[in-house]
C-alpha cells in the first residue's frame, strides 16, 4: 500500500447560495457566512493553500438513497421550483429545517463533497481531509429533514465507503454539540459502524429531547454496543471534560473496535461562545481531539462540517482542526484540567451501559451512578449562565487574544536527528541530521554530575554533544522535535533531563521505557515528572507524585493491550502535568513492543506543543525510522493493531494507581464514584 500523504480540503462557495427567507428564530443561526468565514480564516492562516483542493460534485440519486427514501428525495427535489410560500409550507413538515430554491442543489453538493473526501482518502490520494460543507447532515432521517439538515452526509458517506471500498469497520465520531439522531437511527442495528456522540442533553430538557439520546441507547440487535451516547447534563463543558471523554470512553472502545476509517461529524457548536451549545471548549481542544483520532485506521480520517454558529469560534476551530490534519504542532491545551462532576457522572453511566459489550470497559468493573446528583436536582441552568454564553462580542474579544496566545510560529526545522558517525539509518525526507556538537565546556558541565566510569565509550560523549545542541534548539523553538540514536539510551536520557532543567524548561515529562535504571535524579519540586514503563517494578519503590512506575508486559503476536494504560494512565498524567518538553527514552530491554512504542511516541506529541526528544538505542533501526516518520509529520500508514484487551490483573493494578493518583493528576478520573 502506497504511503498516503497530504490533507484534502473540500469547499465551494456555491454552498453559500441558500439561506433562510422568512422569519424563524430557530433557523436564523444557520447562515451562509458559516462557510465563507471558515474558508476565509483558513486562507488567512495560509492553511487552505497547504491543502490539496478538491472540487465538490453533486451526489447522485443512487448515493442519496443509500440512506434516504425515494419519496423524501422527491420532496427535496420538488423544492427547487417552489415559491417562498410553498418552501415555507414544506419546511413546516419537518422540525427545525428550512428550504430555499437552492437547497436541493447545495444539499447534493454538500453530500457530494463528503463523498469526494472519502474517495480521496480511501484511494490513497491524501491521508486525511476536511469537507467544509452546508447544509449539515447528522440530524436528517431516512424520510425527513431535521435540525438544518437535508441529507445525512456522514451516514451516506459511511454506507458509500463500505460499499465501494469494502470496509469492515467504520468509526463515526460526532463531536457536534447536538445528538446526531439521524446517524444513530441509520446504524443502530449495524455492528460494522461504531457511532459515538456527545451532546447537550440536560436530562432530556434540551433539543431534540429524545430518550434515545441517553447513555442507555447502546444499539439494537447485532448492533448492540456499537452506539455510544455521552449526554452532557450541564452546560459549560470544557477542554478537560472533552479530553477525559476521549481518553476514558471513546478511545479505549475505539482501539478495541479497530476501525478502517474514521469519519468525524465535525460540528463546532460544542465550542466556546456557541449560542446553541453553551459549552466552553477552546479552539485548540479541537486540535487535540483531531490528533487523538489520527493514529487510528492508518490515519484515514475525514472530517465533515456539521454545526457551529458563533462565526469566530467556528472558523478558528475549523482552522485548528485542519492545521492538525496537516501535521503541524498541536497547541498546548489551556484551562482547567479537572473534568467536572456532572461530566464524570455521564462518563460513568455510559461506561457501565457499554461494559457488557466492550472488554476494556467490563474489566474496569464500573457500575452506574447510584445516586445521580443532577437527577435529584432537576433545576434548569440559571438564565444568567445561558446569557453569558450568548455574549457573542465577549467571545470575539476572548478569541482575538487567545489565538495569539496559543499559536506559535512553526519551528524552522521540524525534526532534528542525532546519528552516531558511520551508522546507516533510513530517515524520512525532512529530517535534519545534526552536525554541530555543543561547546566542550557545555558538554563537561552536562556530564559533571555523572559517574566517570560510564564514559569510557567516546561515542556516548560524541552523541551527547550533538544532543545538547538539539536541546538548545528545542528550547529556542528552532526545532520542534528530535530523535537521538544513542549507544546508551538510559545514560543519554539522564544527561538530557539534567540539561533540559539547566536550559530552563519548567516541566519535563520524562517517559522511560525499559527496565534499566536510568540514573536519574528526580526532584520533588515538580520540574520533572518521571514515568517508567517496565516489565518488572524496581524493588519496592512506591509511586510518588513526580516519580511513577507502570508495570506493563503484555504484548503478543495476536495484539497488544498497551493502548489501555496509554490512554487511561500515561496521557491523563501528561495532560494533567502540562509539560513544556517531553523526553521519551527507550531502554535496551523494553517490555512493550515496537508498535506500542510508536503509538506512545505519536500520542505524546499532543503534549508540550510537540516538543519531544526521542532517545533510541542505536541498533533499533526500524523503530528509529518509524518514530522519525511520526515526528516529521508523515506517520507510517502501517496498521498499529491488532489490539487485544489487557488482562484483568493489569487493569486492576492500573485502577488502583489511578485511584491513588487522581487527587493530584485530575485527568486520571474517569468516573464519579465507586
Positions touching ligand Q9C (CB under 6 A) are 26, 96, 136, 139, 147-149, 176, 178, 207, 267, 269, 276, 306-307
| 30 lies in the site for Zn ion, by CB under 5 A | no
Rounded to a whole number of angstroms, the minimum distance from the CB of residue 136 to ligand Q9C is 4
Measured CA to CA, the distance from residue 548 to residue 668 in angstroms comes to 14
Q: Are 320 and 626 in contact (CB under 8 A)?
A: no
Residue number with CB closer to ligand Q9C (267 or 617): 267
Site string (228-267) toward Zn ion, x via CB under 5 A: ---------------------------------------x
Sheet with strand 170-174: strands edge to edge? 52-54, 7-10, 128-131, 301-305, 261-266, 170-174, 193-200, 227-232
Measured CA to CA, the distance from residue 399 to residue 272 in angstroms comes to 9
Which of 300, 301, 306, 295 shows the shortest CA–CA distance to 271? 306
Q: What are phi and psi of 433, to 5 degrees?
A: -80, 130
Burial of 6 (0-12, 13-18, 19+ CB in 10 A): middle
Residue number with CB closer to ligand Q9C (258 or 276): 276
HSE-CB of 409 using CA atoms within 13 angstroms: 6
Rounded to a whole number of angstroms, the minimum distance from the CB of residue 232 to Zn ion is 13
Measured CA to CA, the distance from residue 663 to residue 70 in angstroms comes to 56
Rounded to a whole number of angstroms, the minimum distance from the CB of residue 186 to Zn ion is 17
Site string (295-334) toward Zn ion, x via CB under 5 A: ------------x---------------------------
Residue number with CB closer to ligand Q9C (276 or 657): 276
Residue number with CB closer to ligand Q9C (96 or 434): 96
Which position's Cβ is nearest ligand Q9C?
Answer: 307
Number of Cβ within a 10 Å radius of residue 259 = 25
> Can you say how many angstroms the Cα of residue 249 is from the centroid of all Cα atoms in its chain?
13
Measured CA to CA, the distance from residue 85 to residue 367 in angstroms comes to 53
Rounded to a whole number of angstroms, the minimum distance from the CB of residue 160 to ligand Q9C is 20
Residue number with CB closer to Zn ion (190 or 276): 276
Site string (171-200) toward Zn ion, x via CB under 5 A: -----x-x----------------------
Rounded to a whole number of angstroms, the minimum distance from the CB of residue 396 to ligand Q9C is 20
| 271 lies in the site for Zn ion, by CB under 5 A | no
Q: Are 135 and 149 in contact (CB under 8 A)?
A: yes
Q: 3-state class of 172 per DSSP?
A: strand
Q: 3-state class of 600 per DSSP?
A: helix
Rounded to a whole number of angstroms, the minimum distance from the CB of residue 95 to Zn ion is 14
Q: Which does 136 bind (CB under 5 to 8 A by kind): Zn ion, ligand Q9C, none?
A: ligand Q9C
Q: Are 597 and 586 in contact (CB under 8 A)?
A: yes
Q: Which does 26 bind (CB under 5 to 8 A by kind): ligand Q9C, Zn ion, none?
A: ligand Q9C
Rounded to a whole number of angstroms, the minimum distance from the CB of residue 135 to ligand Q9C is 8
Q: Give the bridge partners for 248, in sequence order.
A: none
What sections of 326-382 are H helices per DSSP?
341-354, 359-362, 373-376
- The CA-based dihedral angle spanning residues 546, 283, 137, 52, taken in that order and rounded to the nearest 10 degrees: -100
Measured CA to CA, the distance from residue 333 to residue 472 in angstroms comes to 24
Q: Which does 234 bind (CB under 5 to 8 A by kind): ligand Q9C, Zn ion, none?
A: none
Residue number with CB closer to Zn ion (386 or 544): 386
Residue number with CB closer to ligand Q9C (27 or 503): 27
Q: Which helix (H) or strand (E) holds 80?
A: none
Q: Which does 175 bind (CB under 5 to 8 A by kind): ligand Q9C, Zn ion, none?
A: none
HSE-CB of 299 using CA atoms within 13 angstroms: 25
Rounded to a whole number of angstroms, the minimum distance from the CB of residue 107 to ligand Q9C is 13
Site string (130-169) toward Zn ion, x via CB under 5 A: ----------------------------------------
Q: Give the bridge partners for 442, in sequence order.
A: none
Distance (Å) of CA 164 to CA 115, 154, 547: 11, 15, 51
Rounded to a whole number of angstroms, the minimum distance from the CB of residue 181 to ligand Q9C is 11
Which position's Cβ is nearest Zn ion?
Answer: 307
Q: Which does 148 bind (CB under 5 to 8 A by kind): Zn ion, ligand Q9C, none?
A: ligand Q9C
Residue number with CB closer to ligand Q9C (181 or 469): 181
Q: Are strands 479-486 and 413-418 parallel, antiparallel or unpaired?
A: parallel
Residue number with CB closer to ligand Q9C (96 or 529): 96
Catalytic residues: 139
Rounded to a whole number of angstroms, the minimum distance from the CB of residue 29 to ligand Q9C is 8
Q: 3-state class of 308 per DSSP?
A: coil
Residue number with CB closer to ligand Q9C (307 or 572): 307
Residue 19 makes CB contacts below 8 A (sequence gap 6+) with 31, 32, 100
Measured CA to CA, the distance from residue 531 to residue 538 in angstroms comes to 12
The cell 434515545 sits on which residue? 212
Tell me the CA end-to-end span of the chain in Å, nearest whole number.
Answer: 47
Residues numbered 396 to 455 that lie near Zn ion (CB under 5 A) are none
Measured CA to CA, the distance from residue 536 to residue 322 in angstroms comes to 42
| 269 lies in the site for Zn ion, by CB under 5 A | yes
Set of cell numbers at residue 224: 448492540
Q: Which does 147 bind (CB under 5 to 8 A by kind): ligand Q9C, Zn ion, none?
A: ligand Q9C
* DSSP classification of residue 310: S
Q: Which does 149 bind (CB under 5 to 8 A by kind): ligand Q9C, Zn ion, none?
A: ligand Q9C
Q: Give the bridge partners for 550, in sequence order.
A: 533
Residue number with CB closer to ligand Q9C (68 or 466): 68
Which of 268, 30, 89, 63 shows the shortest CA–CA distance to 152? 63
Rounded to a whole number of angstroms, the minimum distance from the CB of residue 201 to Zn ion is 13
Helices vs. strands in the chain: H and E counts, helices first: 25, 18
Binding site for Zn ion (CB under 5 A): 176, 178, 267, 269, 307
Amino acid at each position: 500500500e502506497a504511503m498516503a500523504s497530504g490533507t484534502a480540503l473540500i469547499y465551494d462557495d456555491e454552498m453559500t447560495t441558500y439561506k433562510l427567507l422568512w422569519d424563524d428564530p430557530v433557523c436564523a443561526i444557520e447562515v451562509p457566512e458559516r462557510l465563507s468565514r471558515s474558508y476565509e480564516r483558513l486562507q488567512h492562516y495560509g492553511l487552505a493553500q497547504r491543502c490539496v483542493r478538491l472540487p465538490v460534485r453533486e451526489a447522485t440519486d443512487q448515493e442519496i438513497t443509500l440512506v434516504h427514501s425515494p419519496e423524501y428525495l422527491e420532496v427535496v427535489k420538488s423544492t427547487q421550483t417552489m415559491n417562498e410560500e410553498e418552501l415555507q409550507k414544506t419546511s413546516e413538515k419537518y422540525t427545525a429545517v428550512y428550504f430555499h430554491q437552492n437547497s436541493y442543489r447545495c444539499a447534493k453538493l454538500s453530500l457530494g463533497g463528503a463523498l469526494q473526501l472519502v474517495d480521496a482518502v480511501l484511494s490513497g490520494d491524501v491521508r486525511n481531509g476536511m469537507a467544509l460543507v452546508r447544509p449539515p447532515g447528522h440530524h436528517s432521517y431516512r424520510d425527513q429533514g431535521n435540525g438544518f439538515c437535508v441529507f445525512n452526509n456522514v451516514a451516506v458517506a459511511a454506507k458509500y465507503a463500505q460499499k465501494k471500498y469494502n470496509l469492515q469497520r467504520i468509526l463515526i465520531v460526532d463531536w457536534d454539540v447536538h445528538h446526531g439522531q439521524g446517524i444513530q437511527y441509520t446504524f443502530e442495528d449495524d455492528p460494522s459502524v461504531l457511532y459515538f456522540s456527545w451532546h447537550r442533553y440536560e436530562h432530556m430538557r434540551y433539543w431534540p429531547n429524545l430518550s434515545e439520546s441517553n447513555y442507555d441507547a447502546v444499539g439494537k440487535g447485532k448492533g448492540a454496543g456499537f452506539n455510544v451516547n455521552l449526554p452532557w447534563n450541564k452546560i459549560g463543558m470544557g477542554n478537560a471534560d472533552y479530553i477525559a471523554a476521549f481518553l476514558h470512553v471513546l478511545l479505549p472502545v475505539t482501539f478495541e473496535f479497530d476501525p478502517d476509517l474514521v469519519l468525524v461529524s465535525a460540528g463546532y457548536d460544542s465550542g466556546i461562545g456557541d449560542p446553541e451549545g453553551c459549552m466552553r471548549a477552546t479552539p485548540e481542544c479541537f486540535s487535540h481531539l483531531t490528533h487523538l483520532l489520527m493514529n487510528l485506521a492508518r490515519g484515514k480520517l475525514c472530517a465533515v462540517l456539521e454545526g457551529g454558529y458563533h462565526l469566530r469560534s467556528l472558523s478558528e476551530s475549523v482552522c485548528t482542526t485542519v492545521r492538525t490534519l496537516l501535521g503541524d504542532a498541536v497547541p498546548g491545551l489551556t484551562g482547567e484540567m479537572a473534568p467536572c462532576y456532572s461530566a464524570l457522572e455521564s462518563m460513568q453511566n455510559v461506561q457501565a451501559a457499554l461494559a457488557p459489550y466492550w472488554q476494556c470497559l467490563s474489566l474496569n468493573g464500573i457500575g452506574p451512578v447510584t445516586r445521580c446528583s443532577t437527577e435529584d436536582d432537576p433545576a434548569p441552568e440559571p438564565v444568567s449562565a445561558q446569557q453569558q454564553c450568548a455574549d457573542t462580542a465577549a467571545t470575539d474579544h476572548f478569541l482575538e487574544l487567545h489565538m495569539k496566545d496559543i499559536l506559535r510560529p512553526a519551528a524552522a526545522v521540524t525534526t532534528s536527528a542525532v546519528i552516531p558517525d558511520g551508522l546507516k539509518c533510513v530517515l524520512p525526507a525532512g529530517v535534519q541530521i545534526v552536525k554541530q556538537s555543543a561547546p566542550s565546556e557545555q558538554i563537561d558541565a552536562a556530564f559533571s554530575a555523572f559517574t566517570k566510569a560510564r564514559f569510557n565509550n567516546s561515542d556516548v560523549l560524541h552523541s551527547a554533544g550533538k544532543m545538547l545542541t538539539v536541546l538548545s534548539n528545542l528550547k529556542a523553538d528552532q526545532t520542534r522535535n528530535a530523535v537521538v540514536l544513542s549507544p546508551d539510551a538510559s545514560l543519554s536520557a539522564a544527561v538530557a533531563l539534567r540539561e533540559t532543567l539547566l536550559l530552563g524548561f519548567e516541566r519535563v515529562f520524562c517517559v522511560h521505557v525499559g527496565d534499566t535504571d536510568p540514573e536519574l535524579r528526580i526532584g520533588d519540586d515538580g520540574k520533572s515528572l518521571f514515568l517508567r514503563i517496565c516489565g518488572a517494578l524496581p524493588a519496592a519503590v512506591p509511586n510518588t507524585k513526580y516519580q511513577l512506575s507502570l508495570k506493563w508486559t503484555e504484548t503478543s503476536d495476536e495484539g497488544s493491550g498497551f493502548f489501555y494504560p496509554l490512554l487511561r494512565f500515561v496521557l491523563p498524567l501528561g495532560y494533567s502535568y502540562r509539560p513544556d518538553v517531553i523526553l521519551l527514552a527507550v531502554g535496551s530491554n523494553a517490555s512493550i513492543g515496537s508498535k506500542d512504542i510508536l503509538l506512545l511516541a505519536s500520542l505524546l506529541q499532543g503534549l508540550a506543543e510537540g516538543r519531544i526528544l526521542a532517545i533510541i538505542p542505536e541498533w533499533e533501526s526500524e523503530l528509529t525510522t518509524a518514530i522519525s516518520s511520526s515526528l516529521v509529520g508523515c506517520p507510517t500508514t502501517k496498521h498499529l493493531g491488532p489490539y487485544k484487551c489487557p488482562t484483568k490483573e493489569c487493569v486492576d493494578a492500573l485502577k488502583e494507581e489511578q485511584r491513588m493518583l487522581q487527587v493530584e493528576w485530575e485527568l486520571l478520573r474517569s468516573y464519579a464514584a465507586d
